[in-house]
Structure 1
Amino acid sequence: MRKVIIPVFALCMCLCSCQKVLYTHYNYDEVVYSFAKGNKTFEAKDLKKMIKSYERIVEEPKGENAVPPPGACADYAYLLYLQGDKDKAKQYFQKEYITYPESKTYIEKLMQKIGL
């Protein structure tokens, strides 16, 4: 009996300790790293690549809560602003502080600073 209980208990403990993913970043690290190690200027092709990467993070959130990671909507909004799409940028800044209310003061100041 003891030979059965110990392995079953160990299996239960292993299954209970599986960590759930809160957010999905897709290829965010690669895109940001490639930009950071380069000349640090936004060219149109780099901007489009980063926007496409962020769009997937923001529009297709996966994970336990199915929400974008903190700051992703704000980063995406700023990239949209740099591209000239101010209406959509404002929408994603608002989405950031609706999703994460603690960021509202910061996001509002940022929006005010860039003129949105």
Structure 2
Amino acid sequence: MKKLTIVLTLIFVTACVQNKNIYYWGDYSDTLYATKKEPSAESKERHYRELLNIINNAQSYEKKIPPGIYFELSMYESEKGNHDKANILLNQEYSLYPEAKTYIENLRVGDKNE
């Protein structure tokens, strides 16, 4: 009985460790760092494309889209003047992460006042 308990505990711990990262991040850290280190149109475009890549590939890796990805992408779209697309992306962020409601509402209010 003692051996069975140990084996079941090891299986449980192993399963938890394997599922440690439930989000697909792609090259997010690298492209964000490049954008912050050397801000340019090219580095911003690479990061923008990486955000799209994360959204498009998360399911194929059987992972979730991380919190804030749609939100950040909506900021890029808003900068480009694509406010309708930005609002669609904010709705997608809210549907995945309703706890982001305050941030989303503040961003929308900002768009209306500008």
Q: Deviations over 1:17-55 (max 9, x none)?
A: 2320210101000001111112x4x42x22321111001
How many residue pairs get aligned? The number is 108
Larger Rg: 1
Q: In proportion to residue count, which structure has more helix?
A: 2
Determine if contact 1:26/1:57 at 8 Å carries over to the other structure.
Answer: yes
Q: What RMSD, in angstroms, separates the aligned Cα atoms of the two structures?
A: 2.6
AA aligned to 1:98 is S
Q: Which runs of 4+ in 1 moved over 6 A?
A: none
TM-fit CA distance, 1:9:
6.5
- Measured after TM superposition, the shift of residue 105 of structure 1 is 2.0
Q: Which one of the candidate residues 62, 73, 76 is aligned to 1:76?
A: 73
Note the residue ranges of structure 1 that are not aligned, 5 or more in a row.
Answer: none
Quote the residue 1:94 is aligned against.
91
* Distance in 2 separating the partners of 1:59 and 1:94: 17
Which residues of structure 2 form unaligned runs of 5+?
A: none
Q: What is the percentage of aligned positions where both structures have the same residue?
A: 22
Displacement of 1:83: 2.6
Normalised to the residue count of structure 1, the TM-score between the two structures is 0.74
